[in-house]
Structure formats: C-alpha cells, structure tokens
C-alpha cells in the first residue's frame, strides 16, 4: 500500500505522465471516499465453470463510459460464456494510494467468494498499470491479466530498461518490500524481470496496443517478456476504438484456449 505522505507525489507523477499524453485537459477523477462502483453484464451463454472479466478504465473514465463505448459487448462478441464487470476504479483511488487494496477488498475478493473459478483483470492505459500493480501485490489470485496500451512508467525508466537489453538484463537496484509512489514503476518492472525465471507467469499476461499509440514503445518493451503470440499490435492510436478491436482479438484467443 502506498504511504499517506506520498499521495501528493503519486498524483504529481501520474498527472505529469498524462499531461505528456494530452489526456489531462478534461477529466473526472471520481471519489475514493465511496466504494468502487461496478456494473456486471451477465454472460449471454451458459458455461460449466463461472468466468469473470473485470475491466479497469483509463484516466478520466469510469464504468458508465466503458458501458457506453461497448466494452462488455465487445468481450461478449467473442466470449459469451464470461460475465463482464466494469469497475469505476477511477483516478481518485490511484491518487490516494488506495487502488490495489480497495480493488482487492471491494471487487476481486467478493468475486472469489461468489464462486468464480476464473477471474481475468483487464485495464486500459492507466488501468493497465493498475492491473499490473494488482498482479504484483496479489500474485496468484487472478487467472490472468489483459493490458490495452498500459502506462508502464516514465520515459527515463523505460530507456534504462531498453538500454539493458530488456527487463531480463536490467538491474532494478535494491527495492523495499512496500510499494510506494517513489518505486511503484520499478516494482512493476521487477515483477516483469522475474517472469524470465518463471515463464508460466508471463504466459498469463496478454497485451494489445495500437501502432500509432503514444505508449507503443513501452508496450513493445513489455512484449519482449511475453510469449510471442500474447502481443497484438493493431491499427490505431490511444483510443477505445482501437482497444475494442484488441479486446475481441485477445479475448477470442483466450476463450479458445480456455474452453
């Protein structure tokens, strides 16, 4: 969990990154004093084992926007046996350092208790970083992770990893056990580095990104640590139009290997 005294630093770091992406001009950050609002769209076809796909929004978006954009429908187009939960894990939870514990306590743990046998966590842009942070802090809880053009860290860190030949050859340096605003990006990439010794963990991660996306360089760097067929590069930029195509492609592949 991120330290309280670092919350301002967390917001500053993420706002700077998003300003570079031209995403911070108009947005709603949500209210972390409230429980994470979710909306579940039930599977359209019955299945033996219950499967849930949880989707985290990008910066400034929420569950309603994802519903309006047809996120659940896109997943059901290729995986009708899965329930889809759209979660309003908005920027306020990141800002306050509460995203991961709140996501676990309010969304994922209740889904486990409800009897879901397979739980996939998907995230777009900022939500992709959120999904990776959850995987880093709660390893083994999820069946897998799906990332759409995730925010993967500052350009300096990505350059450092690229100059080392990728995550496998990169030295993250000494890191404390606790994830905080100063080290969360390195903590995520250290997890990626550790996948080289445990490829079965990398095989649980799928990644899609547009070929005109501002975050493409980071996505390609992460792709070098994944199975080759787990990275999908699409036509388009940093938009839901691109990610919906990616969702149909990736979740269709996952369903084919699951059922």
pLDDT at 177: 85
Its domain, for residue 153, covers 4-258
Per the structure, the count of domains in the chain is 1
Residues 14 and 133 sit within 8 Å (Cβ to Cβ)? no
CA gap 209, 124 in Å, rounded: 10
The CATH number assigned to the domain holding 128 equals 3.40.50.1820
Alpha-carbon dihedral sign for residues 68, 70, 71, 73: positive
The CA-CA-CA angle for residues 144, 145, 146, to 5°, reads 130
Q: What is the pLDDT of residues 174-219, one digit of tens each?
A: 998 888 888 999 999 999 999 999 999 999 999 999 999 999 999 9
CA distance 14 to 138: 22
Strand pairing partners for 84? Answer: 41, 53
Token pair for residue 164? Answer: 């080392």
pLDDT, tens digit, 9 for 90 and up, residues 112-161: 999 999 999 999 999 999 999 999 999 999 999 999 999 999 999 999 99
Identify the pLDDT of residue 16.
45
């Amino acid at each position: 969990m991120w330290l309280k005294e670092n919350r301002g630093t967390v917001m500053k770091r993420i706002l700077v990154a998003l300003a570079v992406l031209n995403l911070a001009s108009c947005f709603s950050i949500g209210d972390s004093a409230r429980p994470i609002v979710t909306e579940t769209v039930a599977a359209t076809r019955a299945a033996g084992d219950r499967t849930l796909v949880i989707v985290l929004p990008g910066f400034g978006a929420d569950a309603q926007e994802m519903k309006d954009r047809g996120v659940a429908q896109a997943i059901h187009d290729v995986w009708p046996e899965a329930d889809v939960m759209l979660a309003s894990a908005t920027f306020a939870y990141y800002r306050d350092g509460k995203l991961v514990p709140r996501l676990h306590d309010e969304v994922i743990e209740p889904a486990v208790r409800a009897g879901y046998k397979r739980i996939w966590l998907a995230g777009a842009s900022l939500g992709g970083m959120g999904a990776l942070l959850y995987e880093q802090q709660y390893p083994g809880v999820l069946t897998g992770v799906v990332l759409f053009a995730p925010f993967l860290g500052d350009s300096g860190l990505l350059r450092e990893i690229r100059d080392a030949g990728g995550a496998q050859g990169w030295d993250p340096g000494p890191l404390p056990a606790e994830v905080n605003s100063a080290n969360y990006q390195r903590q995520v990439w250290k997890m990626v580095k550790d996948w080289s010794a445990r490829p079965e963990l990398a095989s649980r991660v799928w990644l899609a990104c547009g070929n005109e996306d501002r975050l493409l360089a980071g996505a390609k760097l992460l792709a070098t640590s994944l199975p080759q067929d787990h990275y999908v590069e699409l036509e388009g930029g940093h938009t839901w139009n691109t990610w919906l195509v990616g969702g149909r492609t990736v979740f269709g592949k996952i369903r084919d290997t699951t059922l």
